[in-house]
Amino acid sequence: MKIIAFVQTEYHLMLCVNEILKFPDVDFHVYIIRKAKNKRLEVNLDFSNFQNARFEVLTIAVNLNSKFSEQHISLLESFLIEKYTKLLFYQEHDPFILSVIKFMKKTFPLCEICLYQDGLKPYNRMKGYSYAMLIGDIKIWFWLLRNNIFEFKPWKLFLTKNYAYTDEVDSVFLTFPESYVNWNNKTIKKIEFAEHGFLKRQLEYLFCWDDKLMPVNTECILYMTQPTYHDPTIEFDFLQSLKDRLKLPLILKIHPLTSEDTILKYKQIGSDVFIIDSRIPAELFIMNLTNSLIVSLHSTSMLYNSPTNRYYYISNLFKSKIKHLQRYDFTESPSEHILMVKDFQDIV
């Protein structure tokens, strides 16, 4: 079996590596997509420990007002030679990814197109359909049509806000399938993780982990910041109160997409707060903690349950203060190990 995968974030890469480790006899070809002006996956990576996988960094320029670039066409043509039996991807609203899965399904109808969980998207139900989303969908569809991929289906415009809306998707892989509303009857499969210690060691090797990155590794509060484009000082009173009440060290893990101005504001929270500004995925920091509290508005990294830690989503406490959170109907945690906080005192 030959599998092709397209990863765009640190979280995607972690899930992909998990699949590679589970199936050592399968040949994987992994494309790591980097985009201009995007800081995702700009980190040292060591792939030498993965014998059954080829990793290739890919930068494809997408101009929705023109035809596919020569590099884009060359890549699609290479699939004709490789003849992959399965395709793994994570972001179905990405125009480049859409062009790939539609090309693959048309060329190789028996190739299984697998949409893997992209954070909380499968469990968030977006309220409404915005004008910006409408314009974006139409632009992408006309771009595909300009490149001989017919996709213009007006009746589907109001479905694109739903997860796994794409016709070509055969299977949807989720860590919490029981919490997903399978609105269009796709085949749903559960993501099974490799043994915790083994996965942790392999990820540490891949991301060139250094224990010195963790200022404290037990009995602390690890807060994952989120790039929700709000003033981070909104969170300061909450974080300081939590730190004071529990009498525990506070560590802030900065999200890779956080702006420099926002990072400077986070550093103003207090001299006794540790700031981690690293592109290494937050899952590895969580894996290297024990007996600690992991807290965030709704960080994807907390979907992985590293033993002995306690997990809390606090987005309900900030819905009236952070406009971005009001777009989603997200009031219950998809996982039993993450508590959806309704009151400050719930965090213990």
Judgement on whether residues 333 and 230 belong to the same structural domain of the protein: yes
Judgement on whether residues 81 and 186 belong to the same structural domain of the protein: yes
pLDDT one digit per residue (tens) for the chain, 348 residues: 899 999 998 889 999 999 999 999 999 999 999 876 666 777 789 999 999 999 999 988 889 999 999 999 999 999 999 889 999 999 998 999 999 999 999 999 999 999 999 988 898 876 666 777 888 888 998 899 899 887 666 667 778 888 999 999 999 999 999 999 999 999 999 999 999 999 999 999 999 999 999 999 999 999 998 876 667 778 888 898 998 899 999 999 988 778 788 888 878 787 788 999 888 989 999 999 999 999 998 888 899 999 899 999 998 888 766 666 666 666 788 899 999 998 999 999
Domain that holds residue 219: 212-346
**Would you tell me how many other CB atoms lie within 10 Å of the CB of residue 138?**
13
Judgement on whether residues 168 and 120 belong to the same structural domain of the protein: yes
Q: Is 230 a member of any domain?
A: yes
Judgement on whether residues 216 and 296 belong to the same structural domain of the protein: yes
Judgement on whether residues 250 and 111 belong to the same structural domain of the protein: no
Q: Helices 10-22 & 196-206, crossing angle to 10 degrees?
A: 120
Judgement on whether residues 154 and 59 belong to the same structural domain of the protein: yes
- Count of domains observed in the chain: 2
SS3 state at 310: strand
Judgement on whether residues 18 and 156 belong to the same structural domain of the protein: yes
Q: Is 197 a member of any domain?
A: no
**Would you tell me how many other CB atoms lie within 10 Å of the CB of residue 207?**
23
Judgement on whether residues 263 and 180 belong to the same structural domain of the protein: no
Q: Is 206 a member of any domain?
A: no
Dist CA 51 CA 53 (whole Å): 6
Judgement on whether residues 176 and 220 belong to the same structural domain of the protein: no
Q: Is 300 a member of any domain?
A: yes
The H or E element that residue 3 is part of is strand 2-7
CATH of the domain at 55: 3.40.50
Q: Is 203 a member of any domain?
A: no
Q: Is 196 a member of any domain?
A: no
Judgement on whether residues 146 and 256 belong to the same structural domain of the protein: no
Q: Is 132 a member of any domain?
A: yes
